[in-house]
Amino acid sequence: MSKYGIISDIHGNEHALKAIYEQLGKMKVDRILCLGDIVGYGPSPSQCMNLVLSYCDEVVKGNHDEAVLDPDLGRYFNSSALAALNWTRDKLEAQHLLAISHMKKRIRLDDSLLLVHDTPVLNDSAYIHELPHAIEAFYGLESGLCLHGHTHLPTVFCSHDKEDGTNEVTLQMAVHSEPIILDSKNRYLLNPGSVGQPRDGNPLASFATLEYNSAEEDAVFTVFRTEYDIKAAQAETHKVGLPAILADRLEIGA
């Protein structure tokens, strides 16, 4: 059974990313999968791009990554996000912009394992926060597992066909180091949470592992949280002149 390390929503937070890479190294994962939003918000976009390109085996493009290439997309961003986006665009090197331009928005590792940043529904960028959002998203996933980010929340949505012929969708918030068994008969939307800007009230950097072999076998999804130097990340955010809220929110996980 292969063991994947899953990361998402790094958002230019080099300190958090390095802490997670250290943990994944100890876990001896076979491959590392990145679900996008490498840049945006944080003060170290180039450093995070270099780390992702060096260590990740598969990378999908997030909405912040895409907006670096297409300034028109900035109209969907709030003022702080837009300020960080414009700053980030000026800091990235040509090689980073080229790498982002080559990233795909969805990657299939096999028939039952899909990687996206936001939702499995084609040509959509919806957030999967709650059950109604998940029900819509499952229309884009005929079978198997979808790994996604975008919400910055470590969640597991399950679509289960009941014996009476109806379908039920459930939500489980993933808890640090507690394995979740994924029944091969069900469909799942799996979010590892955010590396660089958690929003679940927990400031610790979030990532996950997926132990997976094939569509015919149950898999195991586990979310982990790890400490990193939040004060240093905040200081760097202030130093480069990014909006103060982008530093302040790191210590409260919001």
Say how many domains are in the chain: 1
User: Which pLDDT tens digit goes with each residue over 138-151?
Assistant: 999 999 999 999 99
- Mean residue pLDDT of the chain comes to 97
153: domain CATH number is 3.60.21.10
Using pLDDT thresholds of 50, 70 and 90, give the confidence band for residue 196: very high
Using pLDDT thresholds of 50, 70 and 90, give the confidence band for residue 69: very high
Residue 196 near residue 16 (C-beta atoms within 8 A)? yes
User: How far apart are the C-alpha atoms of 234 and 215, rounded to whole Å?
Assistant: 42
Read off the pTM: 0.96
Range of the domain at 119: 2-251
List 159's β-bridge partners, or say none: 169, 187
Residue 195 near residue 11 (C-beta atoms within 8 A)? yes
Structure tokens at 133: 């959002």
Q: What is the identity of the amino acid at 108?
A: R
Q: Which residue has 């090689």 as its token pair?
A: 95
When pLDDT is averaged across residues 173-186 and rounded to a whole number, the result is: 96
User: How far apart are the C-alpha atoms of 34 and 59, rounded to whole Å?
Assistant: 5
User: How far apart are the C-alpha atoms of 190 and 252, rounded to whole Å?
Assistant: 23
Q: Rounded to 5 degrees, what are φ and ψ at 89?
A: -60, -35
User: How far apart are the C-alpha atoms of 110 and 4, rounded to whole Å?
Assistant: 14
Question: Concatenated DSSP letters for 128-147?
Answer: --SHHHHHHHGGG-SSSEEE
